[in-house]
Amino acid sequence: MGAFMTALADQRFLGIRSGDRVIVPPHEWDPDTGVELAVDLVEVGPAGTVETWCWVDKPTSQHPLQHAFAWALVKLDGADTAIMHAVDAGSADAMSTGMRVAPRWKQERHGHITDLDAFIPGETAETNDGSALAEPVTMMDYNATITYTTPVPTNLVRYEQATGEGRLLGLQCPGCGRLYTQGKGFCPIDCVELTPEHEITLPETGVITNYTIITPTPYPGQTETEPFARVHVLLDGAEIVLGYQGMVDTPNDSVRVGMKVAAVWASPAERDENDPMSNFVGWVPTGEPDDTTPGLVNRLN
Ligand SMILES: [Zn+2]
């Protein structure tokens, strides 16, 4: 694939020999037998024949062209398999199975499948200036999107509502008495469903049992830029530890095991009306003497 993509920047197509066939784009294995292929690359195209196609009337921003075009399977001359790419034919009437197409290359090429702007009707490739790559392609970027659709548990809805009202909502198992939060739907120890009758309001003070100072690395969605603390808080008088909690107005180097903390709720100005969870800001030191209970550091749940 690296050779194939490097060749794209050079406005050439490469396939790989597999027995008496030529497979394009090159696979590492024979798609029928799974046998690993020797790296016997062969140039194909640049023109080819449309084997099948479908018309895209309204392209999305993710599509390679921003006007109507065809997706097509194009068997390049000399190849035995077809490559899928866009055909910029102007209208669906100009498309037909068996039509001849040739590549239109982009001016700027990076060794990526998008170096091929689209196929166009005819036999003649539209080549462009621009140089081949100085280095062969060894890594490939691509964009992917995954959308998860999950039902929202009713316990979670009530937990968020309670947070919006300024309460930390817990659930107590009627079997073992264990406490849960964040809208957990069942006690995994007893396999008991937890419902509104099991709800309790949790204390708003506790003690830090453990913590992590996190140095943020940039990734999409990361809003933190400076190292920040995430703490585990054992609530006062309740056998429950809230994990990975945020601290408010507390230098990282003052965060410690045994530190007494209290919940901080948002001011009206800080609240996002559409997000009840925005009402809970994090934890702030109370200034009380530290809890020196031995083994506190081991309380992670
Ligand atoms: Zn239980």
85-131 confidence digits (pLDDT tens): 999 999 999 999 999 999 999 988 989 999 999 999 999 988 888 77
pLDDT surpasses 90 at 204? yes
**Ligand 1 centroid – CA 226 distance (Å):** 40
What is the distance in A from the centroid of ligand 1 to the CA of 237?
Answer: 18
Q: Report percent pLDDT > 90 for the chain.
A: 77
Q: What is the Å distance from ligand 1's center to 106 Cα? A: 63
Average of per-residue pLDDT values in the chain:
93
pLDDT of residue 142: 75
Question: What is the distance in A from the centroid of ligand 1 to the CA of 113?
Answer: 55
- Model confidence at 171, pLDDT cuts 50, 70, 90, reads very high
Segment 176-187, tens digit of pLDDT: 999 999 999 999
Give the Å distance between the CA of 180 and the centre of ligand 1: 10
Which tens digit of pLDDT belongs to each residue from 122-162?
999 888 887 777 788 888 877 788 899 988 899 999 999 99
HSE toward the beta carbon, residue 267, CA cutoff 13 A: 2
**Would you state the pLDDT for residue 179?**
95
How many whole angstroms from 206 Cα to the centroid of ligand 1?
23
**What is the CA(172)–ligand 1 centre distance, in A?**
8
pLDDT at 300 over 90: no
128 Cα–ligand 1 center, Å: 69
Q: What is the pLDDT of residues 250-295, one digit of tens each?
A: 999 999 999 999 999 999 899 998 899 999 999 999 999 999 999 9
Residue 188's alpha-carbon distances to 51, 72, 153, 185, in angstroms, are 55, 51, 16, 9
Amino acid sitting at position 17: R
Distance (Å) from CA 239 to ligand 1 centroid: 13
Q: What is the mean pLDDT of residues 39-67?
A: 94
Residue percentage of the chain with pLDDT more than 70: 100
Ligand 1 centroid–CA 279 distance in Å is 29
Residue 262 DSSP SS3: strand
Distance 151 CA to ligand 1 centre (A): 24
CA 183 to ligand 1 centroid distance, Å = 15
Residue 49 neighbours by CB under 8 Å, 6+ apart: 74, 75, 77, 98, 99, 100, 101
Distance 164 CA to ligand 1 centre (A): 27
Report how far ligand 1's centroid is from the alpha carbon of 301 (Å).
14
**Residue 282 Cα, ligand 1 centroid: separation in angstroms?**
28
Residue 34 β-bridge partners: none
171 with 200: CB under 8 angstroms? yes
Identify the pLDDT of residue 115.
92
**Ligand 1 mean position, distance from CA 203 (Å):** 20
Q: How many residues are listed for the chain in this entry?
A: 301
Q: Cα separation of 188 and 242, whole Å?
A: 17
Distance 186 CA to ligand 1 centre (A): 8
Q: Ligand 1 centroid to 157 CA: how many Å?
A: 21
Letter string b/e over residues 236-246, b meaning 16 or more CB atoms within 10 A of that residue's CB: eebebbbeebe
Tell how far the Cα of 276 is from the centroid of ligand 1, in angstroms.
28
Global pTM exceeds 0.85 = no
What pLDDT, on the 0 to 100 scale, is given for residue 257? 97
